[in-house]
Amino acid sequence: MTVLDQQLEVKLEQFITNALAEDIGSGDHTSQACIPADERSKAKLLVKDPGVLAGVEVARRIFHHVDPGSTVSVHLEDGSPISQGDIAFEVECNTQALLKAERLVLNTMQRMSGIATQSNRFYFEVEDLPVKILDTRKTTPLIRFLEKWAVRLGGCHNYRDGLYDWFMIKDNHVEACGSVSKAIEAVAAYQKEKGLNLPLTVEVRNLMELYETMETGMVTRIMFDNFELPLLAEAVATVNKRFETEASGGVNINNIRKVALTGVDYISVGALTHSAVSLDLSLKIVK
């Protein structure tokens, strides 16, 4: 992503400002003590783990924030496969500014690259099948937009951004409301009252709830929660394309292909974000 939409631009600027303030506080005293204020340096971003690169565009914005005169020469774009020893980019920047940005750049890129790599592994398992892998809301507070960006770079897809852009009736909603049908009808009434037209996913725990959901209608997608494979295949066949179908719960890298082969349209995987391991990257000044 090289052109950011306006909303993402605002989020990114807020993130950079707040993250730098958290780290710098009253000043980077070590750099101010050791390095002349007008000194400039070049540095390179070294890859130390194989995977999928993510966060290059964020790094570019961070360097520009700390030094509008900085220049970044990109060798590997976001979404590129990377190997140990690769140089992702080189940056020329005011030295004090470079060292202020260093840890924020590395922390962000390592986290995003880990998620992109994890997402790509899941994508690779089903890339020849007509199914889309979705992320979830199991993200790190306040940097969800970065983590979802990384998911896309890895080849998977974003589900809802938050509670505001997609209705999702889950087990707790059903228990609080009294039944699946009551919950669906309540959402339909709420949408009408508020003038909304948002998609609706209903999570079902068994075939009885599936039949109740199909009979009630007014839904976009039916999510099968922790269904065993034979039951999942039966549920997908029962829906028979009347609604979108989604598998969720207990999905991992070892069974995702089997889940996809049931014919489900979507598979949501919390592990894309909550279990991703950061990639090791390093920023080194070069003479």
How confident is residue 277, by pLDDT bands cut at 50, 70 and 90?
very high
Domain boundaries 6-118+277-286, corresponding CATH code: 3.90.1170.20
Helix (H) or strand (E) holding 177: helix 171-177
* Beta-carbon contacts of residue 2 (< 8 Å; ≥ 6 apart): 57
* Beta-carbon contacts of residue 82 (< 8 Å; ≥ 6 apart): 47, 49, 50, 51, 52, 53, 76, 88, 113, 279
Catalytic entry in 203, 209, 246, 265: 203
Catalytic entry in 11, 61, 138, 205: 138
Catalytic entry in 77, 212, 225, 244: 225
What pLDDT is stored for residue 2 in this prediction? 46
pLDDT, averaged across the chain = 97
Cα 200 to Cα 221: distance, rounded to the nearest angstrom: 6
Cα 270 to Cα 172: distance, rounded to the nearest angstrom: 18
CATH fold label, 157-268: TIM Barrel (3.20.20)
CATH 3.90.1170.20 occupies which residues in the chain?
Answer: 6-118+277-286
Instruction: Indicate if 242 belongs to the active site.
Output: no
CATH 3.20.20.70 occupies which residues in the chain?
Answer: 157-268
Cα 174 to Cα 176: distance, rounded to the nearest angstrom: 5
Total residue count of the chain as it appears in this document: 287
Instruction: Indicate if 203 belongs to the active site.
Output: yes
Q: What average pLDDT score do residues 245-266 get?
A: 98
Q: What average pLDDT score do residues 193-198 get?
A: 98
Strands (E) in the chain, as ranges, are: 40-47, 51-52, 71-74, 81-82, 87-94, 132-134, 167-169, 200-204, 221-225, 244-248, 266-268, 281-286
Catalytic entry in 103, 132, 182, 205: 103
* Beta-carbon contacts of residue 206 (< 8 Å; ≥ 6 apart): none
Beta bridge partners of 91: 43, 72
Q: Dihedral angle at the C-alpha atoms of 67, 69, 75, 76, nearest 10 degrees? A: 40
Instruction: Indicate if 103 belongs to the active site.
Output: yes
Percent of the chain at pLDDT exceeding 90: 97
Instruction: Indicate if 241 belongs to the active site.
Output: no
Within 13 A of 1's CA, how many CA atoms are on the CB side? 20
What pLDDT is stored for residue 7 in this prediction? 86
What pLDDT is stored for residue 3 in this prediction? 53
Instruction: Indicate if 194 belongs to the active site.
Output: no
Catalytic entry in 40, 132, 170, 182: 170
Q: What average pLDDT score do residues 133-159 get?
A: 98
In degrees and rounded to multiples of 5, residue 87 shows phi and psi of -110, 115
Buried b / exposed e over 212-243, threshold 16 CB at 10 Å, is bbbebeebebbbbbebeeeebbbbbeebeeeb
> Is residue 1 over pLDDT 60?
no
Report, in angstroms and rounded to the nearest whole number, the Rg of the chain calculated over CA atoms.
Answer: 23
- What's the whole-model pTM score? 0.96
Percent of the chain at pLDDT exceeding 70: 99
pLDDT tens, position by position, 163-188 = 999 999 999 999 999 999 999 999 99
Beta bridge partners of 189: none
Q: What average pLDDT score do residues 216-225 get?
A: 98
